[in-house]
Chains A and B, each alone.
Chain A
Amino acid sequence: MNLINLTPVDLIIAALLILALAYLSQRMSLGMSNTIIVAAIRTTVQLLLIGWVLKILFSHVHLAWVALMALVMLLAAGREVMVRQQRRFSGWWGFGLGAGSMFISSFVITVLALMVITSSEPIPWYEPQYAVPLLGMLLGNTMNGVALGLDRLKEGAWQQRDMIEARLSLGENGAQAMGPIRRDSMRVGMIPIINAMAAAGIVSLPGMMTGQILAGSPPLEAVKYQILIMFLIGAGTGFGTICAVHFGAHRLFDGRDRLRLDRLYARQPKSLFSYIAKLTQRRTANN
């Protein structure tokens, strides 16, 4: 089996499909056509960029470069978690809680996995060919779990504050009063990855395995990698979510076990488009 190299023409044909979708949504006035096109452009540019970065990284194998890459990925994932929250922690907690939890779970698990995989090979454990995709997949999935769990936690605390304060008034501490919401949030964060594990191979062919098979790997080799990845992201997502929800719930109370919802603030509706709209408005106003 040989890898068929894709030509620009192949990609352009695929792009035409997206354009057709954008056109259709324009006709149906779904208000999505701009979003679709911007997302497609982002995909193209970001993936080309990362392909280029990986190419350079693979030819200059050095721990410092890999670490820098990992840091950039972590910061991006931390930002993504923060952006997805309806209510955010004020101050550094807004960013730090998500990023910290992902750092603890994803990085530890990635490093452990790399050490094991590369132990019998004559390559360094930080070999970027393995390190970067592994970390990427772990971060991507952990990010989902952490974002879902934290969002549920804060939304739950906000909506059920009367219930929480009723428990506090009866002399319970913050952890007891938050118990049901905390359990619920952890569950919500972990369910997607558990479902993915349960449905893998029957309902869906996981993307990584599909990619490897497309690229010419023997199916059983691809399957072994996929099982490894599934376990790693399952563990990473679970630990990351538990960590984030635990410390998030802790942060909602102060030293005297008072519910401190003032540490949250609601997200202002802010998007790229409203930003562009504001800019153009300003420009027309100036003219």
Chain B
Amino acid sequence: MSTLRIKSLQNTVIQAGGEAYNGLAPVNLELTTGECVCLSGASGCGKTLLLRAIADLDLSQGQVFLHERAREDYSGPDWRKRVAYLAAESAWWDERIRAHFPGRRIRYMEELGMDLTLLSRPFKSLSQGERQRLALLRTLNRQPEVLLLDEPTASLDPDSTQRVENIIQRFRSERGVTVLWVSHDPKQIKRVSDRHYQIKDGEIKLASSTKPKAKTKKKSVSTKRRARKFTVEKEVSV
């Protein structure tokens, strides 16, 4: 069952003169419930643009479905609430950290290695790592169905990185949250992802897949070749 289905999605970039061009070749991708797919590629190759296009922050061509319902059937804010994009650099609009969280309770603080005193500290005194984890917390507290993470552990120490990976893992297994994760760290990709795609020369290609598709899983014997074949086919179609 696919949670998020992306069909020939392509960014449309409008420049001041009104000319439009596309950042990345059309992308086709299907993510099943609770799956984690990693994206990697050189800086400026269009990873962030792709995530922004999926979150409907930028103009784009093509279609995106959530639970087989087209994106256009949701309002913009409703879509982004469900398909939450976490930018690489966090931005804050209130001096008080607490104001960025809705509701009474803030959950998962301990899991991310933070305590409540952090919320009353002046914003300027927070480190990059703390801000990054708070930004993730801010997103998680709104209960998204799909997470689009743009290097969420870029400025974190190994311990915090581990905590972030753990909580994402928990969201996937307990709530069936689907994750599209941009990362530069091959070890991290190996740790967290079910599938790994690389963007090269404007094309998105399957680099590795630890988990064969559910259908092929049962035929465990002699499916290695078929699985590989499947992979190759996927590579072509993606």
* A residues with CB within 8 A of B: 90, 160, 162-163, 165-173, 180, 255-259, 262, 265-266
* A165 to B57 CA separation, bound complex (whole angstroms): 8
* A252 to B218 CA separation, bound complex (whole angstroms): 52
The number of chain B residues touching the other chain, given as a range, is 20 to 34
Known contacts A163-B92, A166-B91, A168-B57; A262 and B14 CB within 8 A of each other? yes
B86 contacts partner chain A, Cβ-Cβ < 8 Å? yes
The listed residue (B56, B80, B89) touching A170 by CB distance below 8 A is B80
* B residues with CB within 8 A of A: 14-16, 18, 55-59, 75-82, 84-87, 89-93, 135, 138-139, 142
* A172 to B95 CA separation, bound complex (whole angstroms): 19
Lowest 5 CB-CB distances: which A-B pairs, in order?
A171-B81, A256-B76, A257-B76, A162-B91, A166-B91
How close is B4's CB to chain A, nearest CB, in angstroms?
A: 16
Contact residues in A for B139 (Cβ distance below 8 Å): 169-170
Contact residues in A for B76 (Cβ distance below 8 Å): 168, 173, 255-258
Contact residues in B for A262 (Cβ distance below 8 Å): 14-16
Known pairs A169-B55, A169-B57; list 12 more (Cβ under 8 Å): A160-B93, A162-B87, A162-B91, A165-B57, A167-B93, A169-B85, A171-B84, A173-B76, A173-B77, A255-B76, A256-B79, A258-B56
Contact residues in B for A255 (Cβ distance below 8 Å): 76
Contact residues in B for A168 (Cβ distance below 8 Å): 57, 76-77, 80
Contact residues in A for B77 (Cβ distance below 8 Å): 168, 171-173, 257
Residue of A nearest to B79 (CB): A256
Known contacts A256-B75, A258-B76, A259-B57; A171 and B142 CB within 8 A of each other? yes
> Are the C-beta atoms of A166 and B16 separated by less than 8 Å?
no
How close is B183's CB to chain A, nearest CB, in angstroms?
A: 19
A-B contacts, 6 listed (Cβ < 8 Å): A166-B90, A168-B77, A168-B80, A173-B77, A255-B76, A258-B58
Known contacts A169-B85, A171-B80, A262-B14; A163 and B93 CB within 8 A of each other? yes
Contact residues in B for A180 (Cβ distance below 8 Å): 93
Contact residues in A for B138 (Cβ distance below 8 Å): 170
How close is B88's CB to chain A, nearest CB, in angstroms?
A: 10
Contact residues in B for A162 (Cβ distance below 8 Å): 87, 89, 91
Contact residues in A for B82 (Cβ distance below 8 Å): 171
